[in-house]
Structure 1
Amino acid sequence: MGYNNAQEWHLQMRKKYGDRYAIFFGQQLSIFLCNEEDIKEVFIRNFSNFSDRGVVDIFRETKLNASLLQNTYADGWKHVRSAIAPIFSTGKMKAMHETMNTKIGTLLEILEEKSESGEKWDIYDDFQGLTLDVIGKCAFAIDSNCQRDRNDVFYVEARNFITNIDLRQNPLIGTSIIIPELMWLWKLLYRFTGLASAELPMVGGLHNVYKRRRGGEGSDSVDLLKLLLDREDDKTNGMTKKEVIENCFAFLLAGYETTSTALTYCAYLLSRYPEVQQRLYEEIEETKRTKHGLDYDSIHQMKYLDAVYKESLRYYPPVIHFISRTCLSDITINDQFYPKGCLVTVQANTVHRNKANWENPDKFDPDRFLESAESNQLKWIPFGIGPRYCVGMRFAEMEFKTTIVKLIEKFELSRIEGEPDLIPDCNGVIMRPKDPVRLSLKLRKVV
């Protein structure tokens, strides 16, 4: 099928075989679901039989096994989630919002400098610098300088790790998926891969940060690591050192590439749909007038912004290969037999582009979300489904909305004549732009 076109291949599979189809990777059966009713039955109503996230065995060799990204029911995912979830309460989000605003301010300064220079540049690169700086400060109280310095060690190590997750850069991962029977060999070879060497300095750095914070550094900070350390001290619902460090690692990986990709897609779409951008700008100005500014509360009350946010993620979901569960025992649901050990997978882009789920699914139309969102619950799945949906969803939403509001408040985005249309490209997990995304940014006149 070719990993270069995995997302298109799955769309074609759905069109050819319907809303349920199956693939064997070696002897591993994977069943793919595309319709709302099947998704509800497996991921919600029968969750107890599908509680373990389906993780490719080769990734069990990484330093993520104690994290919510990979841990199983037996490993205590429920315990870890109950410890982490309160970290993303409204009160904690508001405390992090001010820190986030400072980093977004740096982004706006950089974009203004570049727009005045007349140069063309890839805005995706700027969003990656932003999200790393935000994660560094909000997660670990690290004042990185990724936006201004591409040689910042935090930036270099994160980019190196993400590059090595790409199946085309790391063929061992792709081969292990296609021929899982030789997993003993793939695991033996894993230690010699770029991915294995890329994660060592990152995890080592987190160990050092952990040590410094345990020594009292940054004790007055409100950040993820501080809150996890508080949880570690909780004798009844605490976390181990391994759980703290590996969940910090997971938060870094999950919150960096995905959010920067989502921001890039949204900026691109707003440049292509000026009427949507203008309507959003008018809502921003109206909110400033009636709510006396753009703070956490006023931003989250903006209905059209919320519609743009949701439609951008529906149209271009950054993560398309991660909603997967392992069947824990034989079960038949809606006349479909699921044998023990099979993987059940839902691909976000396939669900989001299914005509049975959405009217005119290939049309970018934020208005579809201005009506009641209740019916969209299992059709809009960029953050996953059921009890194991992304625990950091509210943080990602806050970062996305705040960045887009500040960006559109300051700049008018438009396409550059001659620049190619955006082509999504799947690297195995993340669906990112294939080519640089170059836009024209024009400073708005201050009235």
Structure 2
Amino acid sequence: MENTRNFYFVGAALGIISAAFWYYKDDAIGATVRVDKSVPRFKIHNPILGGVLQMIKDIDNSGILIEEELNGPDFDRAKVLTIPFAEPTIFVNDPESVEYITNTNFENYIKGTFTKWRLTDVLGNGIFNTDGHDWFVQRKLSAKILTNRNFKLNIETVFSENIGIFIGVLNAVAESQTPVDMHSLFHRYFMDSFGKIAYGIDLNSLSQGIPSYVVSFDRTQNTMGDRLVNPFFPIVDFFNPYLKNDIKMIREFGEKVVKDRVGEPHNDRNDLLSLFLSHCNEDGSKLTTEELADHVISFILAGRDTTAQALSWTLFCLSNNPAAKTALYKEIDEILGDQLIPKYDQIKQMKYANAVFKETLRLYPSVPREGKVAVNDDTLPNGIKIPKGAIVGFCPYAMGRSEKLWENASAYKPERWLNSKQPSNYVYTAFMCGPRICLGKNLAELQGVFTLVSILKNFDFEIIDLGSVKQKMSLTLPMKNGLMCRITKRK
């Protein structure tokens, strides 16, 4: 009798397990919505667990995994990636669909709770983590600031001053013949520059070392990136020995920057925080300390990381492509002559230098992936049906490497940007597109090329171990092991 009961128990258990495998063979367990089975799943998909095991196992290369799926020979119009207890992501790779979700039907595709839940404890309600009216107000205010003539002049002044400090640091490194991590130096340089531009404060991280809150921000940004692919992040966060204190330090930094400025006259200052402090809401109220801190923290991400990482990848790409490096040095020397620091009008003349910067971002976009949650059921231009609550994702990292969009896509060819016809923002998505396109795109390109030309006019760089350069997938696209270089002065 006992054996019979055990037999029935085992049979029932096997039946339940089999039913679960059958029911969740196309989507991970707990998927919040179900996507039509006709849309192919990622090759890394497993029943019940979806693609989570491979994504966690190879998290730093998750952008590469997505790129291989979207640019593979079996890709048609879309592919689905699911992870347990989360919204499924329907990835597209064509400009028409990207334009549709980011512009044509913009109101139907929002950041949603998937992103907000994972980022709010750090970014709060900053511009990169909001939707609807809150986003619109912040966007309008940010646009007003970034187009302010005095603000632009302040940016040019700050970078012109700080490049001298940067070159001084590099001179010392060259004289000592000591290898240096250029990835770290770029982050410190842009942190100092953006500290003055955004907050009117001098952080001195180039000369005095990396502040502790910057270390906290870097660690936490990696954590936020991991949260996007790991549905079990609350458990992982609980055992993270740094996270609680790191978030506390980041938030305290943002609030201190604000509190130190409240009550000061700011009408004669042209930094970002002064313009936010002077802003009045529709009801006449001022932004709260917490709201202002959200802006301070969000703009670190926008102003420091993206350009610093773009320049790091530029040095990497030039080291792998000697012909492009030679052509760039030639243009710099022809336009600058004996001049060691360029003027801003000269940067606009340097067509090849600007092409180098764009070509790097095509292959290594600072924001490598994006996703929007569907508010209502919808159908994309390519015919794929989108259920309410699903995420529609696109991957600038994959689109930049698509042979359907770029001739000889895997090759580093700055010359492709010298043609008069430029790709649309829905093909070249490094700065996003539609109403949420990066407001600082033009400034980022100008400052990135200005810094690149300035250091290459004065120095040559040799990457010590090209094979050690790896991606570290987070909210942006940093280098996992840094960029160790030998620096020599140019004669």
Counterpart of 2:472? 426
User: Which residue of structure 2 lines up, in the alignment, with residue 273 of structure 1?
Assistant: 321
Asked if 1:259 corresponds to 2:307, the answer is yes
Deviation at residue 69 of structure 1 after TM alignment: 0.7
What's the CA shift string for 1:244-300, capped at 9, x where partnerless?
Answer: 321121001232222221111112222333332332233334434699973233313
- Secondary structure of the residue aligned to 1:345 is strand
1:374-420 superposed Cα distances (whole Å, 9 cap, x missing partner): 4342121122121112233333223211110101111123444xx23
Q: Aligned match of 2:95 in 16, 20, 36?
A: 36
Structure showing greater Rg: 2
Gaps of 5+ in 1: none
Of 51, 67, 80, 1:11 maps to 67
Partner residue of 2:166 out of 101, 107, 118: 107
Q: Which residue of 2 aligns with 1:84?
A: 142
Q: Name the SS for the 2:471 alignment partner.
A: strand
Paired residues, what number? 430
For residue 324 of structure 1, what is the aligned residue in structure 2? 371
CA contact (8 A) 1:55 1:70 kept: no
Give 2:79's aligned residue: 21
Aligned partner of residue 425 in structure 1, secondary structure: coil
Q: Distance in 1 between matches of 2:450 and 2:178?
A: 26
Change (3 A) 1:284 1:65: same
Distance apart, 1:422 and its partner CA: 5.3
Q: How far is the alpha carbon of 1:237 from its aligned partner?
A: 10
Q: Which residue of 1 aligns with 2:482?
A: 436
Q: TM-score, normalised by structure 2?
A: 0.79
Structure 1 Cα separation of the partners of residues 167 and 68 of structure 2: 40
How do 1:91-130 residues align onto structure 2 when only pairs under 5 Å count? 91=149, 92-130=151-189
Tell me if structure 1 keeps the 8 A contact 2:331–2:350.
Answer: yes
Shift, 1:358, TM fit: 0.6
CA contact (8 A) 1:422 1:433 kept: no
Name the CA distance, whole Å, in 2 between partners of 1:79 and 1:187.
35
Q: TM-score, normalised by structure 1?
A: 0.87
User: Which residue number in structure 1 is paired with residue 7 of structure 2?
Assistant: none
What is the alpha-carbon distance in structure 2 between the residues aligned to residue 26 and residue 305 of structure 1? 45
Deviation at residue 206 of structure 1 after TM alignment: 2.4
Q: Which moved more, 1:27-36 or 1:280-289?
A: 280-289
Counting aligned pairs with the same residue, the percent is: 24
Match of 1:49 in 2: 108
Residue 248 of structure 2 is matched in structure 1 by 200
- Counterpart of 1:295 (choices 343, 355, 360) is 343
Match of 1:382 among 430, 451, 455: 430
Q: Give 1:409's aligned residue.
A: 457
SS in 2 for 1:69: helix
**Rounded Cα–Cα distance in structure 1 between residues aligned with 2:113 and 2:406:** 27
Indicate how the Cα distance of structure 1 residues 137 and 391 shifts in structure 2: closer, same or farther if over 3 A, else same: same
Gaps of 5+ in 2: 1-53
Q: Distance in 1 between matches of 2:120 and 2:275?
A: 27
Q: Is the 8 A contact 1:280 1:305 kept in 2?
A: yes
- TM-aligned CA deviation for residue 139 of structure 1: 0.9
Deviation, structure 1 residue 423: 3.6
Shift of 1:230: 2.1
Amino acid paired to 1:120: P
SS for the counterpart of 1:413 is: strand
Shift in alpha-carbon separation, 1:290–1:415, aligned structure 2, 3 A:
closer
CA distance in 1, matches of 2:161, 2:126: 29
CA distance in 2 between counterparts of 1:103 and 1:77 reads 32
> Higher mean Cα deviation, 349-358 or 431-440?
431-440
CA offsets 1:106-128 (integer angstroms, 9 cap, x no match) = 11111111112112221111112
**2:215 is aligned with 1:215:** no
In the alignment, does 2:274 pair up with 1:247?
no
Q: Residues 420, 25 of structure 1: CA spacing in aligned structure 2 closer, same or farther, 3 A cutoff? A: same
For the residues of structure 1 that align with 2:244 and 2:251, how far apart are their CA atoms? 11
Q: Does the aligned pair in 1 maintain the 2:118–2:228 contact within 8 Å?
A: no
